[in-house]
Amino acid sequence: MRRHSRIRTVWAAGAALALTLVTGCEGLVEGDGPTASEGGAEAPAAGHAVSPLRNPDGTGPGLAPVVGDGPEAAARKLVEGLRTKGRGPRTGYDRDEFGYAWMDSADGVPLARNGCDTRNDLLKRDGQKLRFRSGSDCVVVAMTLDDPYTGTTVEWRKQQASEVQIDHVVPLSYSWQMGSSRWPESKREQLANDPLNLLPVQGRANSAKRDSGPASWLPPNRSVRCAYAVRFAQVAAKYELAVTAPDRQAMLRQCGG
């Protein structure tokens, strides 16, 4: 009888451990925890950021690192599929060619025509501890931002609006030089307001980037450089934009290529 008692005790302990493991996973949602992948595992997202590989439409927040053999191989495959060509002249470029800034009426992209302009949509998507203007559920006046480009936390207030800027991952001027100058205006408006191409980031980092491609500028935060390359490639692929050969090589290097 004592032997059977010991067996029951061991079985009960094992069952309790299994129950603990199951219940411990209940809070996980896509992007919040590590995901097993071939040859490696993707790191947990920083804050509430999501890996670009899990966020193909850009409606998820932030830019979590892409790590592990499987995710990096997927990233390289995406980058390798991009066409390359030389960067054309900037002649004729003007921000107004892409519609007025932060319009809510760029049809064909997520979050359009929801009654809130693109900038505030993006602040709401990526910010935490949001505070809104009195009487509004749109206009963000304060928030905490985990800036993917620098790896720092920005306590932002609208009085210092330029401390957080919305970066076009594929800069509009870059796109102009790579072919968007020949697009209809409606497609340029989509590129300028597509959440896939937009990230709220530290203002100084965005200003330093200007209209550079990945061969000339990468986020100071090395842990998100592959993720940045993925996002740049996702935008280029969606809009059928070529990139320069040095830019494609730079993106591949960030993801182990």
For 182-241, the pLDDT digits (tens) are 999 999 999 999 999 999 999 999 999 999 999 999 999 999 999 999 999 999 999 999
Identify residue 215 by its one-letter amino acid code: A
Position 8 pLDDT exceeds 80:
no
Band of pLDDT at residue 10, cut at 50, 70 and 90: very low
> What are the angstrom distances between the C-alpha of 76 and each of 187, 215, 218, 250?
27, 16, 17, 11
pLDDT 10s digits, 61-114? 999 999 999 999 999 999 999 999 999 999 999 999 999 999 999 999 999 999
pLDDT 10s digits, 154-163? 999 999 999 9
Q: Which helix (H) or strand (E) covers residue 141, if one does?
A: strand 140-146
Handedness of CA 225, 226, 227, 233 (dihedral sign): positive
CB count in 10 Å sphere of residue 37:
17
Band of pLDDT at residue 47, cut at 50, 70 and 90: low
What's 84's DSSP letter? Answer: B
Give, in degrees to the nearest 5, the angle at Cα 251 between 245 and 256.
Answer: 125
Position 254 pLDDT exceeds 50:
yes
Position 37 pLDDT exceeds 70:
no
Which residue bears the tokens 């490639």?
233
Q: What share of the chain is helix, strand, coil (3-state, %, to 5)?
A: 45, 15, 45
Identify residue 50 by its one-letter amino acid code: V
The alpha carbon of residue 182 and the mean position of all alpha carbons in its chain are separated, in whole angstroms, by: 27
What's 104's DSSP letter? Answer: S
Report which of 160, 147, 145 is spatially closest to residue 208, judged by C-alpha positions.
147
Position 9 pLDDT exceeds 90:
no
Handedness of CA 60, 61, 62, 68 (dihedral sign): negative
129 vs 37 pLDDT, higher one: 129
Position 21 pLDDT exceeds 70:
no
Alpha-carbon span 200 to 236, nearest angstrom: 19
Phi then psi for residue 243, to 5 deg, are -125, 165
Alpha-carbon span 224 to 8, nearest angstrom: 49
pTM over 0.85: no
Predicted confidence at residue 48, as pLDDT, reads 85
**SS3 sequence, 25-68?**
CCCCCCCCCCEEECCEEECCCCCCCCCHHHCCCCCCCCCCCCCC
13 vs 108 pLDDT, higher one: 108
Phi then psi for residue 200, to 5 deg, are -70, 125
Identify residue 144 by its one-letter amino acid code: T
